[in-house]
Structure 1
Amino acid sequence: MELKYTIKRSVKRRKLTITVERDRSVIVHAPEGISDEKIEQIVASKRQWIYEKINHPQKYQDLPHAPGKELISGESILYLGRQYRIEIVKTGLSEIKFAQRFFIPNVQMSRRAEILQKWYIEKAKEKIIPRVKYHARQLGVDVSMIKIVDNRYRWGSCTLNDNVNFNWRLIKAPMFVIDYIIVHELAHLIEANHTPRFWNIVKAQAPTMEKAKTWLKENGQLLEMVI
């Protein structure tokens, strides 16, 4: 089976690293001077590890026919794991309103994707940050900073400075999925690697872990869509 990968070179990079993104694409981050032949050798030596990552439950397969939607009345969009209908309001509304459906002002139609993204980001801050604080207390970890970020390649991440970042697109997922991603990142502040101890910590704090992994595998691409 041919292993396809994309090479990204940088003059600032000193070390070659390989990442497998959520959509199962393989990216080789390489120093500027390294040859294609050397990269091929290194990738070949890491072949088993790469295939294990490709088949990891948090990765997802492309949908056979990715659904294309428009922000028009009658369509529906995701929020906290459920699809809610859109209604375009012609008068009396200046910003998005949510009440078991999305009311979008007609005057904002030219910027509808932009204003919807801003709405999602605000809701992500409102709902995800308190959950991070809750789980941090439960796990007994100290978090320096919590950020909601625009990152197309990670649901969440943590840094050496005990900062944690979460993708705003997570607000489209059910809360049990959000909780799993939060706990996953916070558990890295206790155990850096994906050891049995790490997974025991995650499962104890997020008992629906396997259900969340399955949801992400089946629906992850839906979160990536613009709307």
Structure 2
Amino acid sequence: MATSVKPASPEPQGPKPVYTTPVWSVPPVSKTPPPVSPYVSPPETAVPVKRRPLVAPPTDQPPRRQLMVGEFILEYELRRSTRRSIGFMIDDDGLRVTAPKRVSIAEIDEAIRTKQHWILSKLKERRERRAARLEKPPVEWIDGAQLPYLGADITLRLLVGGRNRAIYNPNTRELWMTLVPGASEELLKNRVQTWYQQQAKVLFEERLDVYAGRLGVQYHSFGLSSAGTRWGSCTVDRKIRLNWKLIYFSLPLIDYVVAHELSHILEMNHSQQFWDTVGLIYPEYEEAKNLLRKRSQELPVLFP
């Protein structure tokens, strides 16, 4: 089982400037130029934009089809696989249909019409959730910014130093980011995202081992994903991927997704038997599923 490693305490040094206000707004007292904020990009020189010729999309992309469903023209992505039945998946890109190679297009279209009420309602719900996320103002990357972490907020603290590093203090719930002078906001965001992903990898591996033991299964491998709104996946060869942004949420919600994906090792579907399997190791799955949906709509926009 992976164990978390506590970051080393910072070496005792003299005080360093903390960027609580834009330093360039303070009039200089000498000819020495003022320090440069680590979260503001240096001026850029405009360069001519080279026009690129139009390139046809790759031919290996899954085909997209259109189907008249009631009063709507429904577009969907069709994928062929070795699965035994037709499956439906809805994400920010719309409807994805996975079907066995032996199933005809007419049979696929009929299956879509049979489930049209469910499909249309889920597509509407997904559009509303996406619109709600985009309406939220993005986080302002300054000293004192509030960031989500394990179900609560932590405070971002910015220092300028000789090298880039990140130290988290769980007692004060402060994430100290030391950046080189002149570092850009983009670099700061990349450093914060890297820190998130490092924490996620350690914690998720721990929770996978806990719930795999409870369910009596073994997974082949584990990796992080950056999917838009899909929190996890499990393949038929037991490869599990978990969205690193789950680290924003409280541990019970992370555990729900872990239990969900591990249960797919035994049931590669969302049948009642699958949910019964989830319930064996996570009885409160229904409440967690609804709360995860609610919490995901409340998050600030960190990395648009």
TM-score interval for Structure 1 and Structure 2 normalised by the shorter chain: 0.7 to 0.9
Compared CA separation, residues 151 and 113, structure 1 to 2 (3 A)? same
Find the counterpart in structure 1 of residue 46 from structure 2. Answer: none
1:88 deviates by 1.2
How far apart are the structure 2 equivalents of 1:153 and 1:68?
A: 17
CA contact (8 A) 1:73 1:88 kept: yes
CA contact (8 A) 2:88 2:96 kept: yes
For residue 166 of structure 2, the aligned residue among 81, 90, 96 is 96
TM-score in terms of structure 2 length: 0.60
Post-superposition CA distance 1:5-25 (Å, at most 9, x none): 55558xxx558975311x5x6
Compared CA separation, residues 3 and 122, structure 1 to 2 (3 A)? farther
Counterparts of 1:64-103 in structure 2 under 5 Å? 65-91=135-161, 94-99=164-169, 100-103=173-176
Q: What are the ranges of 5 or more consecutive residues in structure 2 without an aligned counterpart?
A: 1-69, 99-107
Compared CA separation, residues 51 and 8, structure 1 to 2 (3 A)? closer
Moved more, 72-81 or 199-208: 199-208
Find the counterpart in structure 1 of residue 280 from structure 2. Answer: 204
> C-alpha root-mean-square deviation of aligned residues, in Å?
3.5
1:27 deviates by 2.9
How far apart are the structure 2 equivalents of 1:130 and 1:60?
A: 34
Post-superposition CA distance 1:139-181 (Å, at most 9, x none): 0012111112222242110111111111111111111011000
Compared CA separation, residues 73 and 53, structure 1 to 2 (3 A)? same
1:184 aligns with 2:260: yes
Larger radius of gyration: 2
1:148 aligns with 2:148: no
1:213 deviates by 1.6
* Amino acid across the alignment from 1:102: L
How far apart are the structure 1 equivalents of 2:283 and 2:124?
A: 22
- Percent identical residues: 27
Question: How many residues get paired?
Answer: 216
Q: What are the ranges of 5 or more consecutive residues in structure 1 without an aligned counterpart?
A: 31-38
For residue 94 of structure 2, the aligned residue among 18, 26, 39 is 26
How far apart are the structure 1 equivalents of 2:300 and 2:292?
A: 9
Counterparts of 1:32-43 in structure 2 under 5 Å? 43=112
Post-superposition CA distance 1:41-72 (Å, at most 9, x none): 8754531231464588x998242731321221
Find the counterpart in structure 2 of residue 128 from structure 1. Answer: 204
1:90 deviates by 2.5
CA contact (8 A) 1:87 1:104 kept: yes
Post-superposition CA distance 1:167-205 (Å, at most 9, x none): 111111111011000100111111222222221221231
Find the counterpart in structure 2 of residue 167 from structure 1. Answer: 243
Structure with greater helix percent: 1
For residue 105 of structure 1, the aligned residue among 165, 168, 178 is 178
1:139 aligns with 2:215: yes
How far apart are the structure 1 equivalents of 2:300 and 2:128?
A: 11
1:98 deviates by 1.2
How far apart are the structure 2 equivalents of 1:60 and 1:145?
A: 34
